[in-house]
Amino acid sequence: MENTPLNQVSESNREPIIVHQDTKSYNPKKLWFLSLIIIVFILLIDQVLKIWIKTNMHMGQEIPVFGDWFILHYTENMGMAFGLELGGKYGKLILTLFRLVAVSFGIWVLNFQISKRAHKGFILCIALILAGAIGNIIDSVFYGVIFSNINHYSGGWFHGWVVDMLYFPLFEGFYPDWVPIKGGDYFIFFSPVFNIADSAITLGVLLILVFQKKFFPKHEHVHSTHTDLGINSKTESSDSL
């Protein structure tokens, strides 16, 4: 019987071996529980601080926390993170509904990634983003009704304004005259006022960007062939006999 050299095996018969992360320590239930703890913890901090601000401060009031560079500054906005807005009554409703859809999709993504055994760090980042989104949804959906007696706006269900309070004016100055458009204008860095929910979303996104190579490694395809095992040399020796 003629022996076929094993190094002539078709490439199509070589199965790639993809190296995955160790699945022995991967516990989906524990990841779900940990994600839930993160979400609840952030929501508690976010809502307790917002309710305290709303019931103990008046609009525009400031309380210095650390000198002049960390201040609790009470403000509210109709729209997105860091004081950005989507104006109008219908704009606010559309934004709130969009947030509800986004959170529903986020829950699905979290469940899907856990079922696919995604990197644990990536799972926790999704939990951070999800917690932040839910935190601002609570303001939008309920605050227009719960605080209707003290609101400075006419709200209602799905028309609540988001409470912001974290203000970090780290330094201020004037743009150099040679800067286009802004030359000579006064500026403050960092001027946006935001909340804990915004911070959670931003932190989750930044961590994904920074650790994306770790969260999404490129799997090496290792072709395991008989030649690699040295069997081919043995076959050639037997043929020569």
Q: Is residue 240 part of a domain?
A: no
Q: How far apart are CA 236 and CA 219, in angstroms?
A: 34
Q: Which helix (H) or strand (E) holds 136?
A: helix 120-146
Which stretch of 60-69, 85-94, 98-107, 211-220 has the lowest confidence by average pLDDT? 85-94
Structural domain contains residue 58: yes
CA distance 143 to 141: 6
Residue with tokens 């690699």: 228
Query: What per-residue string of b and e applies to 49-77 under the rule 16 or more CB within 10 Å gives b?
Result: bbeebbeebeeeeeeeeeeeeebbbbbbb
> How confident is the prediction for the chain on average, in pLDDT?
83
Is 4 among the domain residues?
A: no
H or E stretch covering 138: helix 120-146
- Please count the structural domains in the chain: 1
Domain that holds residue 147: 27-217
Please give the model's pTM, rounded to 2 decimal places: 0.76
Active site positions, annotated: 164, 198
Q: Is residue 181 part of a domain?
A: yes
Residue 21 maps to a domain? no
In a domain, 3, yes or no: no
Quick check: is 222 in a domain?
no
- For the beta sheet containing 162-167, the strands, ordered from the edge strand earlier in sequence to the opposite edge, are 62-66, 70-77, 162-167, 193-194
> Is residue 117 a part of any domain in this protein?
yes
pLDDT-wise least confident of 87-96, 101-110, 128-137, 223-232: 223-232
